[in-house]
A and B are shown apart, each in its own frame.
Chain A
Amino acid sequence: MKAVAEEIESQEALERIDCGRSVSVCHSQDRRGDLAGRYDVEAVRADFPILGQTMHGYPLAYLDSAASAQKPFQVMEAEHAFYAHDYANIHRGFYILSQRSTERYDRARRVVKEFLNARHEHEIVFTRGATDAINLVAASFGEAFLKEGDEVLLTGLEHHSNIVPWQLLREKKGIVLKMAPVNEAGEVPLDEFIQLLGPRTRLAAFAHVSNVLGTVLPIAEMIRAAHEAGAKVLVDAAQSVAHTKIDVQTLNCDFLVFSGHKLYGPTGIGVLYGKEELLDAMPPYQGGGDMIASVSLERTTYAPLPAKFEAGTPPIAQAVGLGVAIDYVTALGLDRIGAHEAGLLAYATERLSAIKALTIVGTARRKASVLSFVMDGVHPHDIAQMLDGRGVAVRAGNHCAQPLMARLGLPATVRASFGLYNTTADVNALAEALEEVEVVFLQ
């Protein structure tokens, strides 16, 4: 009996280490909201130790989650516990640690697969981030399927990471890049996007949510239209994945990418989802260990998916952390997170609209968790500096989207972005700091 009890106990201990998240998942459901949909943001904030700080004597109002999200302690603890108990290189050891490490890495892939509702686990490729994933598709899909004169259709609001890889491919292959225009509100009108789809369009690549304006693009319609034109589709979900539920089978996109660090997970890990038949037909992106079946000096055969695209030792602990971050947002519920953030965005829009010198940039009908603005006569960097002096962390600049800024005729904006831990107090701090900017700079 004693032996059995000990075994159960140690099994439980193992599960606690193994799935530090299983503790947090229950905990989330208990503490962070009830089934009626009440969202207890203070309980959520208690999971984010970094948010408890003061800056220059003011409570930190972290409004830069669109650049990178903060991490809950569950993610930090999972990474720590993984290194403390289970770490070794994956896919090669005959010893227990390597097996455990491999299991944890593979589990993370299963979590991502479920999260995106992909058909197969091997359609999930771990990358360094969204940028790396787009570069992978540009290089590998470009190699296999694009030739001179073929067209890739982007939109005018893309992040540089969804522009430059295609420009590099243009230099190499002579493809043609087209950009669907952006209107005054910061939307990509569907009809104008459709007009640019032609017989030579092989791929359409676009953001789900604009990192500058928060515009939500009508991606379901865009994907359908691109497919009708015979093009494949890549969705850049870097700015949407933390705010809204994504189902790659319903969307029927061919590729989708996101970064772990914007989803409350670690840096250095990202995801490429690709349809099996496409990934199978694409050549490897990088060569190295772990992506081969056999190597001789004459000939190398490649490993099956997803290993074919994961050369070298991957970011193992980061994948584990990403899995736990996904557990975290899933337990909270993306619907509830999205609703909470929509409430903050609406409140912030209302508060900031009352500031006379301030103009909100981007007035799309559908927006998510990003609020960009400018103030007459005050440079965005000076605004951000003043806000920092009151503990309000925002981004100012061109947000790695210079073509969009050129379209808007602005050198820079200030951007406040909201995450699952932000509160109306954060919005109040922002608004009060902006009122002070008005007093100091404009009176």
Chain B
Amino acid sequence: MSHSVELYSKAVLDHGRHPRNRRMIADCSHSAKSDNPSCGDNLSVSLRIDKNGVICEAAFDGRSCVLATASASLMTELLVGKTPTQAKMLFRRFEALAAGDTGEFKDGMDVETAGMTILAGVNAYPARMKCATLAWKTMLAALENERNQQ
């Protein structure tokens, strides 16, 4: 059996092959698009932030590998109900997790981020880090890129 199977757990394959929130939000408030030039992949993230400053809808679209897709799918689930500041904290947690840091965080979001651990295995594959973080970095760019409301 391929040693890499550990990276492709049932949970990762589930998100990767049946991604949640794979669409564009027509009336999004924030969006961004990223390319991964090494593989020709691209990923768009769109967000809708309500008048209270809370992300009420998160979606992604594009062409990407299973890891990037699973990570994007998971991310869109985690973002709903968070403020942009909390979204950035989530990203830092994800980055730390992907880098192999399994230590305790004191940001009060342990429950919400438990699902992230399905991607922790990527830390053994540095070449795939870009795939795992592509959606998150696109989300950060989207937060900086408020769409002009017509």
Contact = CB atoms under 8 A, between A and B. Distances in A.
Interface of A: 56-58, 377-382, 385-390, 396-398, 402, 405, 411-412, 433, 436-437, 440-441
Contact of B5 (A378, A380, A386, A405): A386
A142 to B, nearest CB: 27
B94 to A, nearest CB: 19
Interface of B: 1-5, 7-8, 13, 17, 38-41, 63-67, 125, 128, 131
Contact of B8 (A56, A386, A397, A402): A386
**B38, B66, B128: most-surrounded residue (chain A CB, <10 A):** B66
A396 B66 CA distance: 14
Given A381-B128, A405-B40, A389 B5 contact: yes
B64 A379 contact: yes
A398 B13 contact: no
**Which of A57, A397, A405 gathers most chain B CB within 10 Å?**
A397
A386 B4 contact: yes
23 contacts: A58-B3, A377-B17, A379-B41, A379-B66, A380-B39, A380-B65, A382-B67, A385-B125, A386-B2, A386-B4, A388-B2, A388-B4, A389-B4, A389-B5, A397-B39, A398-B39, A405-B40, A411-B39, A411-B63, A412-B41, A433-B2, A440-B5, A440-B8
Contacts of B17: 377, 441
Given A379-B39, A382-B8, A411-B41, 4 more contacts: A388-B2, A389-B4, A402-B40, A436-B2
A389 B3 contact: yes
Q: 5 tightest CB-CB pairs across the interface, nearest first?
A: A389-B4, A389-B2, A56-B3, A379-B65, A389-B3
B48 to A, nearest CB: 28
Contacts of B1: 389, 436
A57 B5 contact: no
Contacts of B64: 379
A205 B97 CA distance: 48
A396 B39 contact: yes
Contacts of A378: 66
